[in-house]
Structure 1
C-alpha cells in the first residue's frame, strides 16, 4: 500500500481546522521552551501556514524570520497572515537556498517526519546557522501522544484491519525522543536535548472532531476521502463510540509533541 498518496498538504484553510488550531498551541510552547533572545534571525523550515513563524514573531521580536515550504498553497496562507518581519518562500527543505552560517536559529515545526531524509534536512539547517547557534524542531507523538489521531486510527483498524499500514504511529518512527536525538547527533549537533510538549485539544462536540477529517488535508483525512460512503460512515460510528465526552458534550483530549534542540559546533567547516 502506498501510504504517501494520502499525505496531501495544500489548502491552508482546511489545514487550520484539522490541525492548525492545535499546532499553534504547540508552537507557542515550543518557542517558550527554546528561550531564545530577542533580535535574532530565524529560519523556519517546512513552515506550512506560518504558525511557528508567528509564534517566534510574537514572543521573540526577531530581526527577521524566513519561512520555507514546498507547498505553494501553504506559503500563500502564511504570507496572508504574516506578522512583522516574517516572509515566506517556496523552496525545498532538503536543499535550503540560504548561505552557510548566516542565520542565528533554525527551527522546524511538525514537518520532519514527512521528509524522505530528515537527517539531510537537519544537516542543511545546521549548515546555515552560525557556530554555536541552536537548531531545533518538534514533531507530534503519533504513536502514543496524539489523542484524537490515536483514537481515529484505532477505529479505522477496527473497521478495516488493513488501515494499520497507514497509521501515523507506525509510519513515522522519527516521532520519538530517542530517534530525534539520533538524527540531531548524525547531523553533527551537540548538547542535544528533548522535551515533551503537551497541549489540550478540546472539541466543542463530536462533529467538531469528525468534520476536519473530511477536509482531505493530511494522512488521516486523505484516507477518509478514499473510502466509499458506507465505509466512511462505519468509521465515523466507530470513532464516535470511542471518544469520551464531558457532561456538556465537549470532547477533551490532549496532544503531545516531542521537541528536540541542539547547537552547531564551533570551529568546524560550513560545508
Structure 2
C-alpha cells in the first residue's frame, strides 16, 4: 500500500492546516512518508520523526527532505520534555503501537496546551477494497485465513475506538473523519505482484501456500475484481483520521 499511503499523508496534513513555523513530531514514522509531507507542505520550524526500528529510521533519513530529523525511540516512552511541540501526528502506525493508549497519552504530554494530536489508520474492516477482496477470496478457500485478516485483528481502526482512545488521553474537541483515495491498477498483474513480496500479513499468507493453492487464490481474486474495458482495476482505500487538542492550561505528566 506504499504508493497510496503517501497520498493519504498529503491529504492528512493539508486538512490539519496550521501556520508556518510550528514544531511537529511524528511518532511511529516508519520510512518517513508523513514526516516528509509535513516537511514539504507545512513550512515547519522543526519536524522530528521517531520510530523504534533503526532500519526504518535509516530509510526515512535517507529519503526525507533535509529539514526533517529522525531518531530511534519508543512511542510509549518518549524521551522528550512536556509541551515541546505544537502538533504531534502519527500515520498508519497506531494499531501497531503497544499499548496504543500509552502512546496517545505520551503524545498528549509532549504537545503544548491547545496543540493538536492527530493520527490516521487504514479502515481495514470496510474501507480497504483491495485487502477486503483478498481476504474474502482467501477465507472462501481456506477458513483458517480469517485469523490473519487485519479487519478482524485491528478493531482499533474504527471511528468509535479511535474517539475513545483520544478522549481517554484527556484530549478535547475530538473528531474522526474519513480520508479516501482511489487505488487504480493498470491490470491484474499490477495488483497481484505485491502479494508475492512476502512482506505483510497478506503477502506472508500467500508465501505459505503451495503453488496450486496460490493459483486457486489468484484465480478467485481475479474473478472478484471489477475490471475496466482497458483491463485496469479501479478500487478505493479509506483511512480514518482522528484529531483532538490538549486542553488549554492542562499540565502534562512530568517525566522523572
State TM-score, norm by structure 1: 0.90
Mean CA deviation greater in 230-239 or 146-155:
230-239
The answer as to 2:111 corresponding to 1:122 is no
Q: How many angstroms does 1:116 deviate by?
A: 2.6
Aligned mates of 1:222, 1:68 — CA distance in 2: 26
Match of 1:74 among 52, 56, 73: 56
TM-superposition CA deviations, 1:144-173 (whole Å, max 9, x none): 100101101101101101111111111111
Structure 1 spans left out of the alignment, 5+ residues? 1-18
Q: How many angstroms does 1:258 deviate by?
A: 0.5
What pairs with 1:119-268 in structure 2 (closer than 5 Å)? 119-268=101-250
The answer as to 2:19 corresponding to 1:37 is yes
Mean CA deviation greater in 178-187 or 87-96:
87-96
Q: In the superposition, relative to structure 1, how do residues 252 and 85 fare at CA in structure 2: closer, same or farther (>3 Å)? A: same
CA RMSD of aligned residues (A): 1.1
Query: Which residue of 1 is the match for residue 75 of structure 2?
Result: 93
Aligned mates of 1:233, 1:75 — CA distance in 2: 37
Q: How many angstroms does 1:91 deviate by?
A: 1.8
Secondary structure of the corresponding residue to residue 117 of structure 2: strand
TM-superposition CA deviations, 1:199-218 (whole Å, max 9, x none): 01011111111111122222
Aligned mates of 1:36, 1:195 — CA distance in 2: 18
The answer as to 2:95 corresponding to 1:113 is yes
Aligned mates of 1:200, 1:76 — CA distance in 2: 30
Structure 2 spans left out of the alignment, 5+ residues? none
State TM-score, norm by structure 2: 0.95
Aligned mates of 2:215, 2:70 — CA distance in 1: 39
Q: How many angstroms does 1:259 deviate by?
A: 0.4
The answer as to 2:24 corresponding to 1:51 is no
Query: Which residue of 2 is the match for residue 60 of structure 1?
Result: 42
Q: How many angstroms does 1:95 deviate by?
A: 1.5
Q: How many angstroms does 1:266 deviate by?
A: 2.1
Aligned length: 253
Aligned mates of 1:216, 1:114 — CA distance in 2: 18
Query: Which residue of 2 is the match for residue 16 of structure 1?
Result: none
